[in-house]
Every structure is written in structure tokens, then in C-alpha cells.
Amino acid sequence: MSLELKQQVAAEALRYVENDMILGVGTGSTVNCFIDALGNSGRVLEGAVSSSDESTKRLKALGIPVLDANSAGPLSLYIDGADEIDPHLRLIKGGGGALTREKIIAEASERFICIADASKQVDVLGRFPLPVEVIPMARSLVARAMVKLGGQPLWREDCVTDNGNWILDVHNLDIIDPIKMEHDINQIPGVVTVGLFARRPADVALIAGRNGIEVVNAE
């Protein structure tokens, strides 16, 4: 996704942001463009709840207050990117390693707007390796369970999450029933979060393409 497309979709997302709101803010290069646009927009937020140390740093550098999720209460809006988006706006997320905090904010938010480009749209999720955040002690156990599900787990060895955990990227899964797979993987001891956002999908996707921004609602 080119920087220009990221900036275009970030600018479009700004239209949903109102003064004085507490905004959920995701993680990644598309969200970085959104944070930059927010900083230049003149909008004055009560604050943001951030899904990663990286986004927190960027928000604070622009003078946007970052609030603790525990004191912010329910959020009206969450803006975040995705690695894959299906026609029901179910997502794979976690390419940037922030899946657990992203899932917490998505769950806490009344409206989740996903910002991406058309290359992230798929009919069936699973082409992008599915991130699973695990407690370090459970890495091998969870990897064996992923093999039983038909996947090929790879340990993201250069990554320790903001929560002090590790990530397995699971390749070659056919995610025919994302809600069931999300539930089943979350039951494995040692799994902190799977990067499937199916039980709580996005509500709207803003998709940047050659012909501008498409506003996609779930099928």
C-alpha cells in the first residue's frame, strides 16, 4: 500500500472523529498516517486510548493525551488498520504485534472503522499468516496445537510484544469458519489472543483504491 493511499484513507477516517471524544487508536503504518493527520487536523480530543507503545509515543509527540483504558470507559469510536479483511469485515490483525490491545479496544468500542487498501481484501481469511500471541512458556504447546489445526506455525523470534509475550505466525490455515477458529484457538492454554477479529468484526471499512475511497459495510 503506497504512502499516498495510506494518507488518503487516513484523511477520510478523520471525518468520523469529533471534538472532545475519547478515541481508540490502533497500530501500524496506516494508523501512523491517521495519527499524523489527526495531529494536523485541529480536532481537540478529550484523549486517545492507544493499542501500542508505538502509537502512544506518536500520539504524545503530537500533544494528544493518552488515557488509561481502565478509566476511559466505553469508547464511541476505534480506528485501526488490518492485514486481511473478508466481505463480512472479519479481520486478521497483528502483523504489527499489537493484536491483544487492539482486540481489547475493539471490544470496548461502539464503532470500529478499519482503514486499509484494496490489497487487504480477501474472500476467505488465511492467506496472511495468522498471528497468535502466546505466553512464552506455552510456545511449543500452542505450536503443536496449530499443526493439529492444519497450520504451519513460525515463531516471530525478533518480537516481544508490549505485554512481554511472544508471537507465532501460523501459515496455510483455511479459515472457513473464523468465529469457530477464533474461539477454538483462544481456548488453548497459554494463548493470550489470536489475531482473528471475527466475533467482533469491524463495523465499516474504508478501502483506498485507484478510484478513491470505498466505504464498505459488512455483507
Q: With binding defined as CB under 6 A, does residue 152 bind ligand 5RP?
A: no
Question: Contact region for ligand 5RP (CB under 6 A) — 23-31, 137-145, 179-187, 199-207?
Answer: 23-31
Residues facing 113 on adjacent strands = 79, 204
Rounded least distance, CB 168 to ligand 5RP, Å: 14
Q: Give the footprint of ligand 5RP on residues 59-118 (CB under 6 A).
A: 80-83, 93-99, 102
Q: With binding defined as CB under 6 A, does residue 24 bind ligand 5RP?
A: no
Rounded least distance, CB 184 to ligand 5RP, Å: 21
CA 215 distance to own-chain centroid? 18
Among residues 141 and 186, whose Cβ is nearest to ligand 5RP? 186
Q: String of b and e for 187-217 (b: at least 16 CB within 10 Å)?
A: ebebbbbbbbbbeebbbbbbbbeeeebeebe
> DSSP 3-state assignment of 161?
coil
Count helices and strands in the chain by DSSP H and E runs: 7, 13
Q: Which of 102, 110, 133, 157 is catalytic?
A: 102
Q: Please, are residues 191 and 133 in contact by the beta-carbon 8 Å criterion?
A: yes
Rounded least distance, CB 19 to ligand 5RP, Å: 25
The set of cell numbers assigned to 23 is 478515541
Other C-beta atoms lying within 10 Å of the C-beta of residue 76? 13
Question: Contact region for ligand 5RP (CB under 6 A) — 20-28, 35-43, 143-151, 174-182?
Answer: 20-28
Q: Please, are residues 218 and 88 in contact by the beta-carbon 8 Å criterion?
A: yes
Catalytic residue status for 102: yes
Task: Give the Cα separation of 152 and 130 in Å (integer).
Answer: 10
Rounded least distance, CB 44 to ligand 5RP, Å: 25
Rounded least distance, CB 60 to ligand 5RP, Å: 19
Q: With binding defined as CB under 6 A, does residue 26 bind ligand 5RP?
A: yes
Among residues 14 and 141, whose Cβ is nearest to ligand 5RP? 14
Active site residues: 102
| Residues forming the site for ligand 5RP (CB under 6 A) | 26-30, 80-83, 93-99, 102
